[in-house]
């Protein structure tokens, strides 16, 4: 039997060991942000719902910011969870909250004021702030011309900061900040004459120009800026360092450039006149043929909006046109193609669309298996225009130049060479107007982007987005009878 005096040293040692264990436990660092993301298996990101950042269409989530951040989540080996913010103040307020988003990917430009709230990553896109006015109104050419104008910008934006600084130099300048609008709303308000001017970034103007054919760029306000992602303020650099490494990698390996080309490389192909015309035809002509596009697309397992975009590029949605080369109808089919696709009357809109859909599906199925989406679609469009043989020639030229023959970004550089003797003389199929399929694809991509945006549901802000959303059709409201046809 142990005596009490014998137990005291043992108790003392136990207490000492317990105390040391507790002290050491208290010193163990809590998991870093990056460690928590990997443990949870989820990257929570907050963004904005707009054509230039993130939106959902029938095929799921899309947008430049979404594509870029989805690849980052894939790199981390985790699931991406997107949340949309009602406004910029809400976006910055939600960032870093417990169980909330840890990363903001929303086309953000850093500023001294914002740096007090968050920390910014390396840059990935250069943009220029631009003053926007309505066509037909007096065009402002400098800051002094802003006096007396009704101006509105996003609340909490760097544009509001810019105008605040401008007002210090010229107190007569007045402007309003609103947290109830997005860039799309501001451009619409200028387009409709509700406000005189707004200030938005160049990429947003480019993406949205076609929806609002009356908006014009007055002048650039200040120098170009860089867009970055943002993380919460603090001393935990784990996520920020990982983001920077990722952005550096995609810049170096060409992924970033391919995304820029996909979303911004074709935004200026329409111009103001083309944008206005398309906006009119979208309301006046497409509703007559939309059901034919949808039916044929379903039969051939292609996107109806892509078929519609091809139809617009080919005929401006006019079923009875004939070109000088003899191709006819809404989808501009040759006689041989029409016969092969079972089309007896090329001037019948339903038959033409069905034939065009079958032809596109056939071309796409015959492409090299190594060509993956979305490039596969762009290659199919090019072949629809110039023929599969010439496309193969361009791919071989690309390969000889050390480029990737399975990437549209590379092959489209080679297609124009098919009209130059020094190049086409070395190819199997010879001369072709190789510049035409490049413009053909660029135009269709733009029309397709527009149709994708105008037929997708507008999301409620501040929510975790769910899939399987219903996609409404294009507005079928009949225009007034006196509306002129273009």
Catalytic amino acids? 314
* Separation of alpha carbons 368 and 364, rounded Å: 9
> C-alpha 190: how far from its chain's center?
22
Which phi and psi (to 5°) does residue 226 adopt? Answer: -115, 135
Give CA–CA dist 73/257, Å, rounded. 19
* Paired strand residues for 50: 54
Cα distance between residue 206 and residue 135, in whole Å: 16
Task: Provide the H-helix boundaries in 327-434.
Answer: 335-340, 349-366, 375-386, 388-400, 408-414, 421-424
Task: Tell the burial category of 22 from Cβ atoms under 10 Å away from its Cβ (0-12, 13-18, 19+).
Answer: exposed
Structure tokens at 270: 């329409």
CA distance 271 to 282: 16
Q: Per DSSP, which regions of 121-210 are E strands?
A: 125-127, 129-134, 151-154, 176-178, 197-201
Task: Tell me which DSSP letter residue 233 carries.
Answer: S
**d(C-alpha 12, C-alpha 209), whole Å:** 78
Q: Which helix (H) or strand (E) holds 103?
A: strand 103-109
Q: How far apart are CA 210 and CA 271, in angstroms?
A: 8
212 backbone dihedrals φ, ψ, rounded to 5°:
-130, 80
Contact 198, 153 (CB under 8 A): yes
């Amino acid at each position: 039997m142990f005596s009490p005096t014998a137990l005291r040293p043992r108790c003392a040692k136990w207490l000492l060991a317990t105390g040391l264990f507790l002290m050491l436990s208290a010193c163990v660092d809590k998991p870093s942000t990056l460690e928590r993301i990997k443990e949870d298996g989820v990257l929570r990101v907050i963004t904005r719902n707009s054509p230039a950042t993130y939106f959902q269409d029938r095929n799921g989530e899309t947008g430049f910011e979404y594509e870029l951040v989805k690849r980052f989540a894939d790199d981390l080996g985790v699931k991406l969870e997107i949340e949309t913010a009602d406004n910029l103040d809400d976006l910055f307020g939600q960032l870093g909250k417990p169980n909330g988003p840890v990363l903001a990917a929303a086309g953000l430009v850093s500023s001294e004021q914002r740096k007090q709230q968050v920390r910014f990553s390396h840059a990935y896109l250069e943009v220029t702030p631009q003053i926007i006015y309505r066509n037909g109104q007096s065009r402002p050419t400098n800051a002094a011309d802003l006096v007396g104008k009704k101006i509105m910008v996003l609340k909490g934006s760097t544009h509001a900061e810019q105008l605040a600084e401008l007002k210090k130099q010229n107190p007569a300048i007045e402007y309003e900040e609103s947290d109830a609008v997005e860039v799309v709303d501001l451009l619409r308000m200028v387009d409709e004459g509700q406000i005189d001017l707004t200030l938005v970034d160049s990429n947003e103007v480019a993406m949205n120009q076609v929806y609002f054919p009356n908006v014009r760029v007055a002048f650039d306000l200040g120098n170009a800026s860089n867009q970055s992602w943002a993380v919460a303020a603090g001393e935990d650099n784990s996520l920020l360092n990982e983001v920077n490494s990722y952005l550096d990698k995609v810049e170096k390996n060409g992924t970033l450039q391919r995304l820029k080309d996909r979303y911004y490389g074709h935004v200026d192909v329409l111009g103001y006149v083309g944008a206005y015309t398309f906006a009119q035809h979208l309301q006046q002509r497409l509703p007559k043929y939309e059901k034919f596009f949808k039916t044929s697309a379903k039969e051939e397992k292609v996107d109806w909006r892509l078929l519609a975009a091809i139809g617009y590029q080919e005929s401006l949605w006019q079923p009875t046109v004939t070109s000088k080369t003899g191709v006819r109808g809404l989808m501009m089919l040759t006689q041989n193609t029409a016969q092969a696709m079972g089309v007896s009357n090329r001037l019948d809109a339903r038959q033409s669309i069905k034939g065009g859909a079958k032809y596109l599906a056939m071309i796409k199925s015959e492409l090299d298996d190594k060509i993956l989406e979305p490039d596969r679609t762009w290659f199919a469009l090019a072949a629809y225009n110039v023929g599969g043989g010439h496309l193969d020639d361009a791919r071989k030229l690309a390969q000889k130049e050390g480029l990737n023959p399975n990437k549209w970004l590379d092959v489209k550089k080679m297609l124009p060479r098919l009209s130059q003797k020094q190049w086409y003389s070395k190819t199997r199929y010879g001369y072709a107007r190789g510049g035409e399929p490049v413009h053909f694809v660029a135009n269709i991509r733009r029309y397709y982007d527009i149709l994708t945006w105008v037929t997708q549901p507008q999301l409620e802000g501040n929510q975790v987005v769910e899939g399987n959303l219903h996609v409404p059709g294009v507005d079928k409201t009949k225009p007034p009878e006196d509306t002129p046809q273009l």
